[in-house]
Amino acid sequence: MTFEDFPWRTVLACNAVGLSIYAIGLCLMSRLGTAWGMLYAAYCLWMEWRVLSGSCRSCCYFGKRCGFGKGRLSSLLFGKGTGQKLSEKQISWKDLAPDFMVSLVPLAAGSLILTRDFS
């Protein structure tokens, strides 16, 4: 099934998951200190900018409401990409590592908090 514009309930559900991950990560990182929490928040913002300015500009949903709602947002902030189509792009670990770090860094911080505060 394909959509010209995804239903709002899909957009809301997908963004709820992503925002929950960011919020849990921010809570964990903030337990290590305010500076760590601020660095994590800045990293999350950078990740969103990276997706909007990179992948979304080359997506077929650019200017439309995709499953994450970022196609329209990207079109408001950036022009249409002129690069290679998203489906033809070669993805490497270098491209994926920053995405994994959004979850892995707070997981490591949570483990550190548990071992540090455990008695």
119 within domain boundaries: no
2 within domain boundaries: no
Locate 52 and state its tokens: 């909007």
Q: How many domains in the chain?
A: 1
117 within domain boundaries: no
3 within domain boundaries: no
Average pLDDT over every residue of 82-91: 70
pLDDT in tens, 38-54: 999 999 999 999 989 88
- Angle (CA) 18-43-58 rounded to 5° is 65
Locate 113 and state its tokens: 């908090």
Model pTM score:
0.83
Q: Which domain does 63 fall in, by range?
A: 8-80+87-112
The answer to whether 22 and 44 have CB atoms below 8 angstroms apart is: yes
